[in-house]
Amino acid sequence: MSHTILVVEDDREMIENISGILQLADYHVIKASNGRTAVTMALQHQPNLIICDIMMPELDGYGVLKILGNNPQTAGIPFIFLTAKADRSDVRAGMELGADDYIIKPFDGSELLKVVEVRLRKHQQVLAISDTNIETIDQFYSHARQLKEFQNLSHNRILRTIRKREFVYMEGTEPNDLFIIKKGIVKTYKATQDGKELVTGIHHAGEFIGFLALLENTPYTESAVVLDDAELYLIPKDDFLSLIYSNREIARNFIRLLSNNLHETEERLMEMAYQSVRQRVASSLLKISSHLGVQEGGRYIHMARKDISGIVGTATESLNRTLAEFRDEGILEITESGIRLLDKRKLEKISH
């Protein structure tokens, strides 16, 4: 599938020239003649790369970059500035705002295509950090050490085995490492004043945990405990910060991860506020089965009722009553081995 490139340029001859070159190289091109239109088109089309002139009426290139860089939907899009000035201060200002590269006008077609190709390739390589496949994360980490800005990365990550019910980290402690789950399931939760648990997430292989405390340089605001024997990679704090502050692409990926986490938390709070216990139990069972890769009529969900009730946001007694109702309705089976889903379609109907 061809990459989509947004070209922003108020000079009609220049924009047609750039578009023609890119289209010959099999890129799909969309065009904007001013900064305001560019922002709208970027949000609407989510291009793979943006090439933008600096000096434009209404909203200049710096303004376009600032607006898109502050929006999680567009912050990760590679951004290349076009400038007619060879002045170092002009180029530096753009790079400090977060531009990935720049092209000085006039330029030839081969120079344009080379910059575009390099930026797209690097972007694809860095996107691997947010992939849920642990092998892809391994490949990314190995590749990152070969890049100039990552020479200080540790050559050997620590792989730690953590047993069921053991803590990865505890609320209030200082962070020293970024954790990547290689195998197993990890629950994150906050302890309430009355001693109950508010589950903030159930995490599986390929997911990062603990990175918010590292980014904010503050103690953990939640605890993480292993629900099943797990293996976790530990990336030292200094290595993680090197990744973040040395490469804008990686920083944007963690912003995206953070944005997704906040969205999930907000969604869950809305469910707790407006949905019945029956709806929340159905929704939680669907999410847990998705996380664990459990299919309808397949293997059992092995999870303590206390943990499930924490995810639902209800008392264990209320959870047990609802599970019994679902069992009687033929939606699931309950045995000593755990819970097995028999009719996901009914659960989906109940959850809405």
- Report the relative pairing of strands 167-169 and 158-162 from DSSP bridges: unpaired
- Give tens-digit pLDDT for 243-282: 777 666 666 666 665 555 555 655 655 555 557 888 888 9
Q: How far apart are CA 230 and CA 124, in angstroms?
A: 29
- Judged on CB neighbours under 10 Å (0-12, 13-18, 19+), 106 is exposed
- Give tens-digit pLDDT for 56-66: 888 999 999 98
Domain 4-125 sits in CATH 3.30.830.10: no
Cα-flanking dihedrals φ and ψ of residue 61, to 5°? -60, -35
Q: How far apart are CA 348 and CA 350, in angstroms?
A: 5
Q: How far apart are CA 231 and CA 342, in angstroms?
A: 30
* pTM higher than 0.85: no
CATH superfamily for domain 131-263: Jelly Rolls (2.60.120.10)
User: Where exactly does CATH 2.60.120.10 map onto the chain?
Assistant: 131-263
User: Where exactly does CATH 1.10.10.10 map onto the chain?
Assistant: 275-351
User: Where exactly does CATH 3.40.50.2300 map onto the chain?
Assistant: 4-125
- Give tens-digit pLDDT for 175-201: 999 888 888 889 888 877 776 777 888
* CA geometry: angle 43, 49, 50, nearest 5 deg: 70
Q: The domain at 275-351 falls in which architecture?
A: Orthogonal Bundle (1.10)
